[in-house]
Structure 1
Amino acid sequence: MLTDKIRSKESGILFYGLTPPKAKHTKEELETIAAKHIERLNNLDIDGLVLYDIQDESDRTDIERPFPFIKTLDPCDYAKNYLDAPLKFPIVVYKAVGKYDKDEFRLWLQERVGKRFHTVFVGAASKDTKVTIGMKEAYDLKKEISPDITLGGIMIPERHIVKHDEHLRVFSKIDNGCEFFVSQCVYDLMAAKKFLDDYAAYAKEHNKPLVPIIFTITPCGSAKTLDFMKWLGINIPTHLEERLKNSEDILHDSVKLSRDIFEILYFYGKGKGIPVGCNVESVAIRKAEIEASIELLHDIQKIMER
């Protein structure tokens, strides 16, 4: 079971990440989309499915969004109404806590009392985003109302290079009940390795537990998608950006690059005693990119089996 793996602090946890369908779809369209997801997903040997809670994020930057923001279905609603029963593994639901008021969030927690449930709390996109409930209050409500929920947090390697304190943020979140972390998509290998260095060193110095770090990797099918990833705050080193944009097959090369990045991080982390896992993200709708994400997932399984 996923909860047991997380609480045993095992390496090799494997997730597959999806964005819920657009909210504008009819019920019949959602049922068709869900049926395709279920057929694809139940053929995968994974520990859990990640469903994202999408935020606009336009107030995070003045740069124009490469793709227009379109509201998606609430991940909890999509999981409960379309996916939950047919899937043979747990669903890890992202919860952008700032989108909800206190009463809504309290009710959401109450509905999950006594259930085996996995979630990742996500903070506001920027300090300028107006929220009605902050992360500290969300953690406190979770402890009060539904302490048995298996709670995860977000880890951002790029932020560590700038502020040098991502490991401290992680340990603060552990103190608030987080039992595992899912990273933002990783293309900056050095930033991720530096985080692992400081994460392990701080834990050793202060006698702290090392909880699983799940690194997210994502195939990229076009130069415009690459620009969107950068808009989201993902750091893509200049030499890798040029390599991908000049590639004759950007999708193939991004799969290989993502695989190589994770392989290095997996064994580097294990060498430091850190339980490392992977979240293969599939947020595209093109068939080729979906198939590439499945190929990448199988490659990651082979790495973990070595």
Structure 2
Amino acid sequence: MLLDKIRNRESGIVLYGIVPPKKITAPEKLEEISSRQIQRLQSFKIDGLILYDIQDEKSRTPAERPFPFIETLDPFFYSHAYLSSLRIPKIIYKSVGKYSRAELSRFLTQASPENSLTVLVGASSKSQKITLSLSEAYELKREINGNLLMGGVTIPERHLAKGDEHTRVFDKISQGCSFFVSQGVYDVNTSKSFLSDYYYYGQKLNIPLVPIIFTLTPCGSLKTLQFMKWLGISIPRWLENELTRSTDILQQSVELSEQNWLELKHFATQKGIPIGCNIESVAVRQVEVEASIELLQRVTEQ
């Protein structure tokens, strides 16, 4: 089970990530969407399903958002109301800055430690207006549901600029995080640099390493590529050239993502660093969702 794998600090965890449907979606359409998602995933031996809690992030960058922000259903509600027949653990993201203390307390009270996990996400920028800070959310979680397994977000690209992503991770471990999920990975060398510093810092302080789950996401169009860059995903110049000039950008991105995973897996295995992967599609186009499923199949067959 996923909970045991995380507690035992095992490698090889495989997750799949989705964004809940738009809040304005009609109930009959929700049934159709959830049924399709369940059918798509139930044949795979995945360890868990991530349900994202998206936020606008307009304060993070002045650049125009390539795809408009549309509010989605609450991930915990969608999980329980529409995905309960998918018998795998659900990892519920919560962007804590948009919730009141009472709202987050309600979720933490209702979440079952036996089949739910959570990832608490802080503000996307220092200028974002928030109602609850990440440290306050961590404290609230400890008070209300100490047994609920909690993860954190890590951004390897941030390590390239600041060189301290590994210490951020260890600080979150000290606050109760038992695993981490990365932002989408295309810059494999930056991720390896982060893993290296994570490994040696843990050795130096004699702190056991927790699983790092690297997110892989296919790119099916130039607009999706633009959106990924807007989200802060670092794409090396050579790789961007290959994608933009490819006759089949989607298939090439799937193959590159698989190569990145194999390279990270090889690097981590040599050092005994527990890592896993999370497959997602940042776009809702059917071909890109199907490509994410192809990537999931490739990863689970290794």
TM-score, length basis structure 1 = 0.96
Q: Is the 8 A contact 2:53 2:74 kept in 1?
A: yes
Question: Equivalent residue for 1:74?
Answer: 74
How many residues are treated as equivalent by the alignment? 302
Q: List aligned pairs for 1:1-306, cutoff 5 A.
A: 1-84=1-84, 86-112=85-111, 115-303=114-302
Farther-moved stretch of structure 1 (100-109 vs 173-182): 100-109
**Cα distance in 1, alignment partners of residues 48 and 115 from structure 2:** 13
3-state secondary structure, aligned to 1:208:
coil
Deviations 1:54-82 (A, max 9, x none): 11011110111111111111111110111
How much does 1:137 deviate? 0.8
Partner letter of residue 78 of structure 2?
Answer: Y
Q: AA paired with 1:12? A: G
Root-mean-square deviation (Å): 1.1
> Which amino acid is the alignment partner of residue 145 of structure 2?
S
Q: Deviations over 1:136-162 (max 9, x none)?
A: 111111111100101010010000011
Counterpart code for 2:53: D
Cα deviation for residue 302 of structure 1 reads: 2.9
Task: Provide the secondary structure at the position in 2 that maps to 1:88.
Answer: coil
Return 5+ residue gaps in structure 2 as ranges.
none
Indicate conservation of the 8 Å contact 1:113/1:145, yes or no: no
The answer on whether the counterparts of 2:90 and 2:115 sit within 8 Å (CA) in structure 1 is no
C-alpha spacing 1:287/1:116, structure 2 compared with 1 (3 Å): closer
Alpha-carbon contact 1:116-1:149 (below 8 Å) kept: no
The structural deviation recorded for 1:122 is: 0.7
Does structure 1 retain, via aligned residues, the 8 Å contact 2:88–2:115? no
TM-score, normalising length from structure 2? 0.98
| Higher mean C-alpha displacement, 217-226 vs 106-115 | 106-115
The CA distance in 2 between the partners of 1:144 and 1:207, in whole Å, is 28
Letter in 2 for 1:182: V
Mapped contact 1:187–1:234 kept (Cα < 8 A): yes
SS of alignment partner, residue 194 of structure 2: helix
- What letter matches 2:74 in structure 1? D
What is the Cα deviation at residue 42 of structure 1?
0.8
Post-superposition CA distance 1:4-60 (Å, at most 9, x none): 010001100000111111111111111111111111111111000111101101111
Is 2:258–2:295's contact at 8 Å kept on the other side of the alignment? yes
The DSSP-based 3-state class of the residue aligned with 1:59 is: coil
Within 2, Cα distance between the matches of 1:116 and 1:288? 31
* 1:217 and 1:278 in contact (8 A); partners too: yes
Give the letter for the 1:291 counterpart.
Answer: E
Question: 1:202-249, CA deviations, whole angstroms, 9 ceiling, x for partnerless residues?
Answer: 000000010000000001000110000000001101111111001000
Moved over 3 A (4+): 113-116
Residue 178 of structure 1 deviates from its aligned partner by: 0.4
Residue 97 of structure 1, CA deviation? 0.7
Query: CA offsets per residue over residues 190-210 of structure 1, 9 Å max, x none?
Result: 110000000000000000010
CA distance in 2, matches of 1:186, 1:282: 12
CA distance in 1, matches of 2:209, 2:38: 33
